[in-house]
Chain A
Amino acid sequence: MNGFPLLSVMAFLPLVGALLIFFLPKASQGFPKMVALISALGSLVLSIVMVIQFDPNAPFDANNAVPFQEKIEWANGIGISYFLGVDGIAVPLIVLTTAISVIAIIWSWDTVKMRQREYFIALLLLETGMLGVFVSLDLFIFYIFWEIMLIPMALLIGIWGSTNRVYAAMKFFIYTLLGSLLMLIGIVATYQTYFQETGERTLNVLRLQEGNYSPTFQFWVFAAFFIAFAVKVPLFPFHTWLPDAHVEAPTAASVILAAVMLKMGGYGLLRFNLPMFEEGTRQWAPIIIGLSVIAILYGAFVALVQPDMKKLVAYSSVSHMAFVTLGIFLLSLQGLEGAMMVMLAHGFNTGALFLLIGVVYERAHTRQISAFGGLASRIPAWAAYFTLFMFASIGLPGLSGFVGEFLVAIATWHYNPWLALFTFAVVIFAAWYMMWMFQRVVFGRARGEIPDPHDNALTPEEVEMLAAAGDDGHGGHGSHAMPLPVSGGSHDAHDAHGDDPLDSSKWHDLSKKEAITLFPLAVATIVFGIYPAPIMRIVEPAFQRLLALYN
């Protein structure tokens, strides 16, 4: 495979697919999704080849060839080159991206009915943008990919989203654009300072890491970069776009947003802020650690009171992703590895939770927690997956969520035990809001189900109903029973309409397609929960290199 531009092919394969769909508008109905699936699968296969061939201990600096290096001098005059390469930080995230993209495309197979062509073009463009961010080692190229992601994502939210989609799309776009424009200033300033210092014009990230920048300069430029990444993470107080975007986005876009795009922030901090601005990092670390702890608690508290399932998961994302920034800025090996594990685990778990919410949304056309109940008996396979991912998200030992958060909490303990107290405490809150949703949606009483006569909490009304139902000689099966008031839900009149979308008794359980999308995530969350060593092996040398700068 020597000389084969693996990274370029992997990153641009989806773009080729998108162009094919764009230029063949007259092709058959099934053509766009076929092309999308094939190109995304191609990228996935290439990314797996990359993992197999990747040598974690390979050098990663400006003076040696980096793994899978591709370098074409492009504009020597101003130091732009087409420079791609990966290290242990990028590799796991690339595989996550390609895998999640395939899952998103499979999920969209029959759920997207309106403007299919445009939809798959947007998804594929998005994938190219995301992969490009992870593989580029030239700031200019990086910035191009970074911004390319914005437009398809805004379109996905704005066209295929739910009711308040335009507002959410605009908010998402302008928030992230403002952040990245500030980063642009940071990029140019770094470039200029390096040029003044060494006389060399370059945007090569690995080269720029070698510069000596003054502490004041580092302080401000670190901030310029940091805001761009903090918006993406999103770190409190830059998070307000996230709940809107998540709630309005179509399921596949929510999954990509949660599983991959939020990771861009963490990746950016690891790739740019930490290696380039050591002094800036030291100056800002306490503030960011403080913000992260606030965000961990804040996200959890706000999640407690959400009536909407997607919003609840969105705020839980704020809470979980703050573990990433916390882990990174503790500047210890445990913290960094924990941050990486949290990123991956959050990718599997939250991605899967959004898929599961998508499943019930498809059937009920609502995401209100109060509208559901007793799904464990109605759609058991769904309930099983939901249980698994909920526990993984809470951080149950043995599942992927636990590894990362535990590592970060340990690292926090070494930093400051009192701070660690808060991070441990949040597990309780996470269990609280998740269990609260879980209990009502998965157990609880299903709509139209006969109340249990031994239930002590029956209202007099319900007792009466129960008596009437018993007199009729039915009993037992809820589906035949007269409609009964729903526990905990709205007591408004749901007449005996057979087409009530909320009537879960008519729902079919997970379809084959839905199961295909969920299964790999379930495997991943269990395998890496029990045996995270393969990931550690890949990322550890990269983090050792990073920490060497700080000792």
Chain B
Amino acid sequence: MIVDDLSVLPLPDWSLMLPQLVVFGLAILLLAGDAFLPKSSHYKVLTTLSIVGYGLAMAALWTQDGKNAPTFWWLFRADGLGVFLSLVILLASLITVFVSASYVDRLEGRMPIGEFYVLLAFSTLGALLVASAGDLVMIFVGIELASLSTYVLTAFAKRRETAVEGAMKYFLLGIFASAILVYGMAWIYGATGSTNLDVISYALANANASSSILGEPSLLLALLLVVVGLGFKMAAVPFHFWTPDAYDGAATPVSGWMSVVPKAAAFAATLRILVQALGPMADDWMNLIAVLALVTMAFGNIVALSQRNVKRMLAYSSIAHTGYMMVGLAVAGGIAGFNMDATGDEGISSLLFYLFAYAIMNLGAFAVIGWVQHRGRGIMLDDYAGLASTEPLAAAAMTVFLVSLMGIPPTIGFYAKYRLILAAIQAGNVGLILAIGIVLLSAVSAYYYLRLVATMYFSEPSQTPRETKTPLLNVGIAGLAIATILGGFLFAVPVYNLADRWSRALEIFAHIPGRFF
């Protein structure tokens, strides 16, 4: 959009971005609280503030629902896709507060909890901005805001060398990836003349007939650069090298958080750029994504087999789950030519639902690791020996999460995988191969998840647990475990329908380009 006269520029509609503003306000309040409140009250006050803040932001999401309107001159879009992704991100942040408070406050030499919450809030804000971005620039700003805070969070347990090492690797590879991503964006701008996602998509779609910019090598280069940059952010193979070290090094609740929120932000960016903007080029990127998906899930699952460090194992499993989610992207049907049917796109809605399910079960698994660390156990497989006889409830909760990660009914992980397979099989032969890949590798993954269950249940306890009380963490784990089980049948369908309905929102602008030019 070209504006000649700045005075006619419409004013932004602030009310459309209420949830984002709430999180922004939360971050500012946390900063102030960290600076001015007495240190002894930080834990109580700031934790409460965070919980209330994320809760309010989630409530505020409902003001965005059904709006489908842009603001800030199309930099920001309050559409359904953004709402669902924001829901996942805010939920994950809320849960992270529950499961991290005592860890940050007590373990690893008492980390400053005020700073922790501030970084968490800014990172959340960044992810939220990506989720609702309408412009490449906004996507980049959001990703950077989310990533920079996450780099610091990774190094938060700074007394441990592995934390600093992991953060350093993450940081260096991350900024490298950002550079590649922004370079790709620049090429897209060069080819289409805009950074606005809808304008790009419109330009590409209308280029079909007359000119042939779709086949332009420069566009293909742009596509490749963007995919590489985003691949880094979502930890797809072969751009995953930072993942195990960063997950292993970071404080446990941070690892859980990293596996969900930055990943959600990366998938949000991917959906926005590939599906929304480069949708007309779907033929070019779909097979690329399909191959990456297959390689990612195979590599993640197979390497996870040999891990004896539980956090590292979950890091590789996280890579594998990225692969599963990419299947949803690879089989997203009906993108080219804007002819999505009224029921929404199965591929994208299954990806969205998987993200939701993954957030719940993976945060749960990391929460149990943190819980166990509170009791003086380590993070190696052997440290879990006989957990079921000394701490039966923790072992039961961990089993629920692992079973869900395996994708066994009646858990939420199964329903998510089921919908993914359903979407894949509908997409023809490529989808069938991907579906078979998912099930075979799920069987492989059962081995390493099950090994942890076996260690907890079948071995004799080697350590006596340290007595300690973690009420907030207990509430978090119990809530997640119940959600994992009930999510498999009770509210799986309503949530999925929500994802389905909201995945439809992508098309809104594509259909009415006239309003725009």
Contact = CB atoms under 8 A, between A and B. Distances in A.
B443 A158 contact: no
B454 A182 contact: no
B409 A144 contact: yes
Interface string B319-352: 0000000000000000000000001000000000
B410 A177 contact: no
A185 B425 contact: yes
A38 B418 CA distance: 36
A115 B389 contact: yes
Interface stretch (A187-195, A256-264, A408-416, A498-506): A187-195
B442 interface: yes
Interface in B339-394: 343, 388-389, 392
Contacts, number: 81
A175 B242 CA distance: 33
A184 interface: yes
A436 interface: no
Interface in A104-156: 115, 118, 140, 143-144, 147-148, 150-151, 154-155
Interface stretch (B131-139, B249-257, B445-453): B445-453
Interface in A211-268: none
Contact of A192 (B399, B422, B436, B457): B422
A119 to B, nearest CB: 12
Contact of A148 (B406, B410, B493): B410
Contact of A181 (B422, B440, B497): B440
B493 A158 contact: no
A159 B392 CA distance: 14
B351 to A, nearest CB: 16
B60 interface: no
B421 interface: yes
Determine chain A's interface SS by DSSP, over half rule: helix
A534 interface: no
A154 B456 CA distance: 13
Interface string B249-268: 00000000000000000000
Interface stretch (A74-82, A293-301, A384-392): A74-82
B470 interface: no
A151 B408 contact: yes
Interface string B479-501: 00000000011000100010010
A151 B488 CA distance: 16
A279 B5 CA distance: 72
A273 to B, nearest CB: 19
Contacts of B457: 155, 158-159
Interface in A58-74: 74
B182 interface: no
Nearest to A82: B489
A173 interface: yes
Given A169-B458, A185-B439, A188-B435, A75 B493 contact: yes
A178 interface: yes
A165 interface: yes
A178 B425 contact: no
B463 interface: no
Interface in B400-416: 403, 406, 408-410, 414
A181 B409 CA distance: 11
B421 A77 contact: no
Nearest to B408: A147
Interface residues of A, number: 34
Nearest to B500: A77
Contacts of A147: 408-409, 414
A150 B488 CA distance: 17
Contact of B425 (A155, A169, A192): A192
Contacts of A170: 447, 450-451, 454
Nearest to A146: B409
Interface in A154-205: 154-155, 158-159, 165-166, 169-170, 173-174, 177-178, 181-182, 184-185, 188-189, 191-192
B462 interface: no
Interface string B138-180: 0000000000000000000000000000000000000000000
Interface in B88-132: none
B458 A159 contact: yes
A78 B500 CA distance: 12
Nearest to A220: B432
Interface in A255-296: none
Nearest to A22: B396
A143 B414 CA distance: 11
Interface string A359-401: 0000000000000000000000000000000000000000000
Nearest to A179: B443
A158 B442 contact: no
A59 B454 CA distance: 46
B41 interface: no
B208 interface: no
Contact of A184 (B410, B418, B426, B447): B418
Contact of A158 (B392, B403, B421, B454): B454
A177 B421 contact: no
A150 B408 contact: yes
B19 to A, nearest CB: 28
A192 B389 CA distance: 45
A173 B426 CA distance: 29
A110 to B, nearest CB: 21
**Max chain A CB contacts within 10 Å: which of B447, B451, B489?**
B489
Contacts of B442: 177, 181
Nearest to A158: B458
Contact of A174 (B410, B426, B450, B488): B450
Nearest to A114: B389
Given A74-B493, A170-B454, A184-B418, A177 B446 contact: yes
Contacts of B435: 185, 188
A173 B439 contact: no
A174 B432 CA distance: 22
B439 A184 contact: yes
B392 to A, nearest CB: 8
Contacts of B425: 185, 188-189, 192
Given A148-B409, A174-B450, A184 B458 contact: no
Given A115-B389, A177-B446, A181-B439, 18 more contacts: A77-B343, A77-B493, A118-B388, A140-B418, A148-B409, A148-B410, A151-B408, A158-B457, A165-B458, A173-B446, A174-B443, A177-B406, A178-B440, A184-B418, A185-B425, A185-B439, A192-B422, A192-B425
Interface of A: 74-75, 77-78, 80, 115, 118, 140, 143-144, 147-148, 150-151, 154-155, 158-159, 165-166, 169-170, 173-174, 177-178, 181-182, 184-185, 188-189, 191-192
11 contacts: A78-B493, A144-B489, A151-B403, A158-B457, A170-B450, A174-B450, A177-B443, A178-B443, A181-B440, A181-B443, A192-B426
